[in-house]
Amino acid sequence: MPITEAFRQAAIRSQTNGSRIPRAVPLLRSRPDPLHLHELTPARSARVLVTAFLLALLTGTGLLMLPVSTVDPGSTEAITAAFTATSALCVTGLVTVDTATYWTPFGQVVIICLIQVGGLGVMTFTTMLGILLARKFGLSTRLLANVETKSRGGARQVVARIVLTTAVIETAAAGILFLRFWGYYHYSPGAALAHGAFHAVSAFNNAGFALYSLNVMDFSGDPWILLTLAACVILGGLGFPVLYELRRHIRTPRRWSMNTRLVLLATPVLLLGGTVFLAVLEWNNSQTLGQESPAVKVLNAFFQSTIARTAGFNSIDISHMHPVSWLGLDILMFIGGGPAGTAGGLKVTTFGVLFFIALTEIRGGAAVPVLGKQLSRSVQREAMTVVILATGAVIGGTMLIMLTDESLGLDRVLFECISAFATVGLSTGITPTLPVFAQCVLIVLMFMGRLGPVTVAAAIAFGRRPPAYELPKERPLIG
């Protein structure tokens, strides 16, 4: 098919979707690729990402082992430094020591730098992955992908937008927290600024590290603190593509991509559902919400529902929650937030895709419609692959830790493993008491959870090859 005819057909289809043709024009010109994205292969992309994270992890571990990083004299143990560095770099929030009292200001600066590097690193990589996918296909598909993802400009411009978006949100949140700490809690200006900046970065990157021994339980009745942190967690969890698309087309929902529609549909459903679920189960629990006023109960139920996707802050005592509440948080943590953001988990788009697949199968349909568009079959396979691998990792980690100490209880161990793999950071309180082997298992789960789904998705997306032949089809019995 001639190029002009391909462009004409793609333009007609883009007009049908309510988009203007000029957005697709830049893809017809050869543009410089200063980041050499065209040379990236599945194996190379995985190696680059894993190597960069390992180098950052080793650097962070080394810095935290320095005597200047800890309050007590001497250097910290290697396992403690490695666990904290992994938790910070993978923006998880699980800790084996008290961040507020164990680490010096230098150590806390190292932790917050690791959080920022980890959050920006994966967010940038996954966004670049989207650009690569748009460039991988033919002209007609690329034109439609450009209209669909709104990815204008080169890789360098996209990275700049990510950094700018992060800086604006973190600065605004830090300003609000600074005013609250300084004006209401009477911190000194320097302390208020330090606490505001630390918690803003920790919240937007969905890390959950806090400069208080009880995390943020001391602020359980303060909506200024909790809602600011929750807003940062939600914005970071939406993902950069969604934030960028909302900034440009917030008043024209018909131009939103399928990714944005899925994220914006699932996010409020999970937030509201989690809030109601936790409020009902913990309403009369005297060790969590039972002694608070109704307004504070709802506030904390909403906060913990938000944090479960996926930051490690806690405004109530997680260790005293009802076991059914733990199970509900397990589900929220495993689902996680939006793709190409700072949230962990398997992402709401993955479970959204599985939901619409199941709905289509129940209705007896063939193609899978998703919010007015048709889902690609390759995406269906990607979603099921990621879920199966993640489930296997969590189950395997749970079994290994249970073998070290049977008295821990399945519900608590499963909670810690899901929290580690989904890079959430919530804990039932057993992580600091776990043996070294079990802590190493959690380190591996945090690393796999942060990079595993991304690298697996990249390998699947880039590794597709058109088959040279087809095998005979057959249906086994299902169910």
Please report how the helices 240-249 and 155-183 are oriented relative to each other, as an axis angle in degrees rounded to 10. Answer: 90
**Confidence class for position 150, pLDDT limits 50, 70, 90:** very low
**Confidence class for position 429, pLDDT limits 50, 70, 90:** very high
Residue 129 confidence (pLDDT)? 61
Residue 145 or 322, more confident: 322
Residue 121 or 17, more confident: 121
Indicate the pTM of the whole model: 0.84
**Vertex 203: Cα angle to 229 and 428 (nearest 5):** 90
Going from N- to C-terminal start, the domains of the chain cover: 38-462
What whole-number distance in Å separates Cα of residue 252 and Cα of residue 67?
Answer: 55
Q: Is 343 helix (H, G, I), strand (E, B) or coil?
A: coil
Residue 122: name the closest of 449, 440, 471, 463 by CA: 449
Find all residues with CB under 8 Å of 363, minimum gap 6, and list them.
none
Residue 372 or 61, more confident: 61
Strands, DSSP E only, in 216-293? none
Q: What secondary structure, in 3-state letters, does 169-224 show?
A: HHHHHHHHHHHHHHHCCCCCHHHHHHHHHHHHHHHHCCCCCCCCCCCCHHHCCCHH
Residue 271 confidence (pLDDT)? 96
Q: Stretch 262-288: mean pLDDT, rounded?
A: 95
Q: What is the mean pLDDT of the chain?
A: 83
Residue 23 confidence (pLDDT)? 42
Is the pLDDT confidence value at 28 over 90?
Answer: no
Is the pLDDT confidence value at 219 over 90?
Answer: yes
Residue 282 confidence (pLDDT)? 96
For the stretch 66-92, pLDDT in tens is 999 999 988 899 999 999 999 999 999
The sign of the dihedral angle between the CA atoms of 66, 70, 74, 78 is negative
Residue 178 or 12, more confident: 178
Q: Stretch 382-389: mean pLDDT, rounded?
A: 87
Is the pLDDT confidence value at 455 over 80?
Answer: no
